Amino acid sequence: MSLRVKVLAAIGAMLIALVGLLFHVSFAIVLRGFSQLEAQYTIRDVARVREALADELANLDSMTSDYAFWDDTYAYMLSRNPAYVTVNFVDQTFLNNRLNVVLLFDTAGQLVYGKAFDRDQAVEIPLPDGLLEQVARLLPLTDVESYQRGMLPLPEEPMLLAARPILTSEALGPPHGTLVMGRALDATLVNRLAEALHLSFTVHRVADADLPADAKAVVGDLQGDEAVIRVLNQDTIVGYGQVRDIFGQPGYMVRVEQPRDIYAQGLATARYFGAAVLLIAVGFSVFGLWGLDRWVLRRVLRLGASLEHIAANSAFAQRVEVAGKDEIARLAAAVNHLLGAVEMAHAQLREDIAQRERVEQYLKAQRDLALELSRVHEVKEALQRCLEAALQLPGLDCGGVFQVEPETGDCRLLECKGCSAAFETMLSHLEKTWNESHTAALPAWLEEAARAEGICSIISEPIRQNENGAIVAHLIVASRTLDEIPEPLRRVLTAMAAQTGNAVSQLEAREEARRHRDVLQTLMEELPVAVFCKDPDGRFVMWNRKCEALFGLTREQVLGKTDYDFFPKEQADWFREKDLKVFAQRAVMVIPEEPVDSPTLGRRILCTRKSAIWDKEGKPLYLIGVSEDITERKEAEERLAAAHAELQAAVVRANQMAMVAEAASRAKSEFLANMSHEIRTPMNGIMGMIELALQTELTPLQREYLTMAQASAETLLALLNDILDLSKIEAGRLELDQVDFDLRQVVEQVIDIIAPRAAQRGLELICRVDPAVPSYVCGDPLRLRQILVNLAGNSVKFTERGEISIEVTLANQDAEGVEILCAVSDTGIGIPPEKLEVIFESFVQAETGTTRHYGGTGLGLAISRQLVHMMGGRIWAESRGIPGEGSTFRFTARLQRAKGVLPEQLPFAKPPLEGLRVLVVDDNATNRRIVQEMLHTFAQLVPACPSI
């Protein structure tokens, strides 16, 4: 059923009910009004009847007064003249005055005169029964003012009665009796009164048996003067009123019966009124319903339809029509307002759902990454997974992952995904930037350059830091759609980076642990000692290869077993006792000799060290045993002890022999040293003679022979000199001089000696003494020169072409003296590196062919070394053995500072070169440098060139 039908039906029903109600209410109100009016009228009628009765009584009383206050009556009472009554109370008097009874009483209350009259019959009748008894109760009326008036309750019918004292006309007394007049309240009187009142009423004695039923029913309700109303039937209403008799007793009632004209009128009025109300209500209802439909229902239904449409299509952006300014229009406006709120809430909801979906996506990506990371085995792989997972996130398109190489410390782009070639190049440039800056911050140029590549936003996340806090792995991701990476996405990236960082740490830790384990394992396996490990119950948990070899038991056989599984009980008990002691004492136990029977090696002696490991709570974890097989050592020691004893004896013998040999050697050296003069003198003689013979006239052949003899003699003399020098040194007979000398002069002398030979071979001879080297020193100039000549002589000898250079520099100096460093270099055949040491030994030459080709004895360097040692220095050779590259001999020597001053060394007068330009020209670079150095002290600018 539609709303319209429902509303119209409901309102219709309500209107009908309302109209019905209205009708009934109005009907009831109108009728009630009329009923009340009817009752009021009836009450008034009852009162009118009472008044009429009272008026009747008053009339009777007035008449009674007229007769009682009349002098005739007064006189009569004294005279009792019958004429009075005969004249005054004739029948006509009764008829005219509507009297029924006249009574005259004397003052004693005795009836003087009494007459009763039936007015209907117009005849005198006897006095009614009981009249006199009742009247007697009212007498006497002695007072002028006193009187009696009321209704006398006679058995037949009530009588209106008035009694007055008989007085003079001036109402003066004394009273001569009482006049009583009565008027019967009979049907005639009642009818007359009813006619006069236009009413229908009756007077009843309450105690009457033939009282009408309705009157009988209200007897109990009659109180005082209140009238009681009863509707007798549809057409008749009755009013009852109580009437008191002359004695004040409520013995009578008046019953006024009225037709219900007012009620009938009211009924008709109410009916007309109801019909009118009905008509008006129907009219109003029709108009109201039409208006309701027109102005309310239709609009509400239209509003409902619009809302239905909006709801069905979720078209919260639409608005309902707002027409007019009434409540429905306000409702529509409110609905529109509500729709606005719903639209916003809907949008917010959609945004929330999208947000939740994104968060779920993020969480899933994180979970997936965690799963992936749990499967990877390498750091690189973990970083790649991190990048892949990051690029799964919505809005992120491309990126790269960087790693700092642990070995080199260089930051490197490990992987790039989804990047254009240009962006990849930019990322690779970051390697350099980050290597220089050591930060993970993105340089400004990157963001600018990336924007040109269509990248809207870019973010860098540190994945891992090393123990110094330096970032060692970065993640960079970029978006081509998001202008800014939203905060939740950033947080996810941070979380992913941290997750990866943790995974990397774990991988590294695992790798480190694995390496340590491998190292430990290898170490264990390779150790030449047996290593085993037991748990607190004595079960083996580790057993290395040496153990296997020593005890003949494989690891598989041993692990998880105890000593009792392999050794006799006594021995196993012994092992166990020691183990428990180690656990208890918390100290390393050394068992120096532990005999063990090996199934493969027989009886072995072990030296075992046992120690224990405890956990943090001090609970024993493991016992580590290290057993060294000292069987061989023990045997060797025994052998050694025997050998030692033998050696002792041999040493004693050797010492004796050495002493003998030393004595012999010294004797030989001393002999040679002593023979020096004797050997050299004949040689000088021979050479002198040859010299002299060469100056004589000789044939070319003789000259050739003599020249050859001279050469041989010189060679022999040199050899002799060397042998003698060596002998002297070995015999400890050589002593160095300590004299002041000019170092530069010594070097020049060397040059003088060598120069001819060098020139002969076409060799360039270069000499340089560093200016820092002091010229005047104290030492043995001859021996120094000998060393230099030896070295330079060798250089000339072993060099075919090139140059020989002698250089003296200052190595060290202090207050007492200087240490000079002399270097003699050549460009000769060089010396093989393995010979660089042995050539300094006596009679040793670098090559066996050397003697034949170059001659020599192999003594020069040995002597030089001895002399250098005596001068507190050392000598060594440097060469790579490459011909043409030559060799360099260096030696150091300590010289004392000169005691005096060398005359030539007095302050040097500078040549007047100041301000001049000096051009040094030489094809040899070393020479140019030497001259340049010398001139440098005189002139500031010394350009040099190889040639002009």
d(CA 880, CA 832): 6
Complex with ligand ADP: residue 180 or 763, whichever CB lies closer: 763
Which two tokens mark 213?
């039923």
Task: Give min distance, CB of 811 to ligand ADP, in A.
Answer: 21
Site for ligand ADP in 704-733 (CB under 6 A): none
Give how far Cα 304 sits from Cα of 4, 167, 326, 337, 600, Å. 12, 104, 17, 15, 105
Task: Give min distance, CB of 744 to ligand ADP, in A.
Answer: 23
Task: Give min distance, CB of 871 to ligand ADP, in A.
Answer: 18
Task: Give min distance, CB of 755 to ligand ADP, in A.
Answer: 17
Three-state SS for 39?
Answer: helix
Complex with ligand ADP: residue 281 or 862, whichever CB lies closer: 862
Which residue's beta carbon is nearest to the bound ligand ADP? 856
Complex with ligand ADP: residue 56 or 826, whichever CB lies closer: 826
Question: 509: number of CA atoms within 13 Å, CB side?
Answer: 8
From the list 86-94, 247-255, 490-498, 794-802, the region that binds ligand ADP by CB under 6 A is 794-802
d(CA 215, CA 232): 10
Complex with ligand ADP: residue 306 or 827, whichever CB lies closer: 827
Task: Give min distance, CB of 839 to ligand ADP, in A.
Answer: 4
Site for ligand ADP in 108-147 (CB under 6 A): none
Task: Give min distance, CB of 903 to ligand ADP, in A.
Answer: 36
Residue 140: is the preceding peptide bond cis (ω within 30°)? yes
Site for ligand ADP in 803-862 (CB under 6 A): 826, 828-829, 831, 839, 845-847, 850, 856-862
Q: In this structure, are residues 101 and 94 in contact, taking their beta carbons and an 8 Å threshold?
A: no
Give how far Cα 622 sits from Cα of 455, 542, 583, 584, Å. 61, 10, 9, 12
| Residue in the block written with tokens 């008829």 | 95
Complex with ligand ADP: residue 147 or 889, whichever CB lies closer: 889
Task: Give min distance, CB of 712 to ligand ADP, in A.
Answer: 15
d(CA 401, CA 72): 161
Task: Give min distance, CB of 763 to ligand ADP, in A.
Answer: 12
Options 94, 240, 423, 798; binder of ligand ADP; rule CB under 6 A: 798
Closest CA to 867 of 845, 889, 891, 851: 891
Complex with ligand ADP: residue 630 or 846, whichever CB lies closer: 846
Give how far Cα 132 sits from Cα of 103, 176, 252, 517, Å. 9, 19, 20, 159
Options 795, 805, 827, 927; binder of ligand ADP; rule CB under 6 A: 795
Task: Give min distance, CB of 789 to ligand ADP, in A.
Answer: 11
Task: Give min distance, CB of 753 to ligand ADP, in A.
Answer: 15
Q: In this structure, are residues 290 and 262 in contact, taking their beta carbons and an 8 Å threshold?
A: no
Closest CA to 535 of 512, 517, 510, 560: 560
Q: Angle, nearest 10°, between helix axes 700-730 and 860-870?
A: 40
Complex with ligand ADP: residue 530 or 839, whichever CB lies closer: 839
Complex with ligand ADP: residue 378 or 800, whichever CB lies closer: 800
847: number of Cβ within 10 Å: 13
Give the H/E segment covering residue 666.
Answer: helix 631-694
Complex with ligand ADP: residue 246 or 808, whichever CB lies closer: 808
Task: Give min distance, CB of 921 to ligand ADP, in A.
Answer: 30
Complex with ligand ADP: residue 145 or 834, whichever CB lies closer: 834
* Adjacent-strand bridge partners of 602: 598
Helices within 894-939 (DSSP H only): 925-936
Complex with ligand ADP: residue 779 or 858, whichever CB lies closer: 858
Q: In this structure, are residues 796 and 754 in contact, taking their beta carbons and an 8 Å threshold?
A: yes
Q: Is 488 left (phi over 0), alpha (psi -120 to 50) or beta?
A: alpha
Complex with ligand ADP: residue 255 or 783, whichever CB lies closer: 783
Task: Give min distance, CB of 681 to ligand ADP, in A.
Answer: 24
Task: Give min distance, CB of 925 to ligand ADP, in A.
Answer: 21
Task: Give min distance, CB of 791 to ligand ADP, in A.
Answer: 7
Buried b (16+ CB within 10 A) or exposed e, 53-72: beebbeebbebbbebbbbee
Residue 445 C-alpha from the chain's centroid:
33
Closest CA to 148 of 109, 115, 114: 109
Closest CA to 683 of 706, 723, 711, 716: 716
Q: Angle, nearest 10°, between helix axes 298-313 and 327-375?
A: 10
Task: Give min distance, CB of 851 to ligand ADP, in A.
Answer: 7
844: number of Cβ within 10 Å: 14
Total residues contacting ligand ADP by CB under 6 A comes to 20
d(CA 718, CA 858): 12
**Main-chain phi, psi angles of 198, to 5 degrees:** 55, 45
Complex with ligand ADP: residue 847 or 904, whichever CB lies closer: 847
Site for ligand ADP in 886-945 (CB under 6 A): 887
Complex with ligand ADP: residue 45 or 826, whichever CB lies closer: 826
Complex with ligand ADP: residue 545 or 835, whichever CB lies closer: 835
**Main-chain phi, psi angles of 875, to 5 degrees:** -130, 145
Task: Give min distance, CB of 872 to ligand ADP, in A.
Answer: 21
From the list 27-35, 241-249, 791-799, 920-928, the region that binds ligand ADP by CB under 6 A is 791-799
Buried b (16+ CB within 10 A) or exposed e, 152-175: bbbeebbbbbbbbbbbbeeeeeeb
Which two tokens mark 421?
């070639």
Residue 174: is the preceding peptide bond cis (ω within 30°)? yes
Question: 20: number of CA atoms within 13 Å, CB side?
Answer: 6
Task: Give min distance, CB of 861 to ligand ADP, in A.
Answer: 3
What lies within 8 Å, CB to CB, of 441 at 6+ separation is 460
d(CA 447, CA 459): 9
Complex with ligand ADP: residue 178 or 888, whichever CB lies closer: 888
Complex with ligand ADP: residue 416 or 713, whichever CB lies closer: 713
Which residues in this chain contact ligand ADP in the complex, by CB under 6 A? Answer: 794-795, 798, 826, 828-829, 831, 839, 845-847, 850, 856-862, 887
